[in-house]
């Protein structure tokens, strides 16, 4: 297959409460440079809680988070991985959704080449894995998710059933259940939420 060239989601989709956007992004598609994947896991971040980069207020780094909804916020994690986030809510609010995992859809051979491995469920099952598989880097920071180079495309079909749980890989506000996973998808990153494990038996 070739990466789809459909119409991106409009800005109004992102100009809503970050928790709503985080839920509704599951099932949507991320496309970049000949590759695409269905979003199966997200996490929400808001400037009112300390795990969010925008918690410190407006700085050179966080200015993207306080910018237009529908903008890509891409940053380097631990000096290694680029992580992709979608900026949400009005400009005066610092909020974004971290895209945590994808189910590979288009350009799978290219993803395998970029990742240097073959197993389908390992290609995009984590925020650093998916950016490597899709070729997303810091150059995409502050670019539009509406018209590229990284595009977010609407769902095809009904919304997936969601399982919520605490965010992972953080030490602050870790109790908030702001992680959303497509029930039954083996492309979700580990560790899996406890309720998600039950869904694997039901839908796999």
Tens of pLDDT along 158-191? 889 999 999 999 999 999 999 999 999 999 998 8
Q: 33-45: per-residue pLDDT in tens?
A: 999 999 999 999 9
In this structure, the strands spanning 95-106 and 35-46 are antiparallel
The residue written with tokens 């979700």 in the block is 188
Q: 70-118: per-residue pLDDT in tens?
A: 999 999 987 788 999 999 999 999 999 999 999 999 999 999 999 999 9
Amino acid 2: pLDDT: 41
Question: Which residues sit opposite 104 in a β-bridge?
Answer: 37
Domain 11-160: state its class.
alpha beta
Mean pLDDT of 44-72: 95
Task: Report percent pLDDT > 70 for the chain.
Answer: 91
With a CB cutoff of 8 Å and minimum separation 6, the contacts of 47 are: 54, 55, 57, 65, 93, 94, 95
The CA distance from 17 to 27, in Å, is 18
Task: Give the pLDDT band (50/70/90) at residue 4.
Answer: low
Domain locations along the chain: 11-160
pTM: 0.92
The CA distance from 95 to 22, in Å, is 11
Mean pLDDT of 133-146: 97
């Amino acid at each position: 297959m070739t990466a789809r060239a459909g119409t991106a989601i409009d800005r109004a989709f992102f100009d809503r409460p970050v928790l709503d956007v985080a839920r509704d992004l599951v099932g949507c598609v991320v496309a970049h440079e000949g590759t695409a994947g269905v979003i199966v896991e997200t996490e929400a971040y808001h400037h009112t809680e300390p795990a969010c980069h925008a918690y410190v207020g407006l700085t050179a780094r966080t200015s993207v988070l306080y910018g237009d909804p529908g903008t890509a916020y891409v940053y380097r994690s631990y000096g290694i991985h680029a992580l992709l986030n979608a900026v949400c809510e009005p400009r005066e609010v610092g909020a974004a959704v971290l895209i945590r995992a994808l189910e590979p859809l288009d350009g799978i051979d290219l993803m395998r080449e970029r990742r240097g491995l073959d197993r389908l469920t390992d290609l995009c099952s984590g925020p650093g894995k998916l950016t490597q598989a899709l070729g997303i880097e810091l150059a995409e920071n502050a670019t539009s998710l509406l018209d590229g180079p990284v595009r977010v495309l609407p769902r095809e079909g009904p919304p997936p059933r969601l399982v919520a749980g605490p965010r992972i890989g953080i030490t602050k506000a870790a109790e908030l259940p702001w992680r959303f996973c497509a029930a039954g998808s083996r492309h979700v990153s580990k560790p899996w939420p406890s309720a998600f494990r039950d869904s694997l038996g039901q839908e796999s």
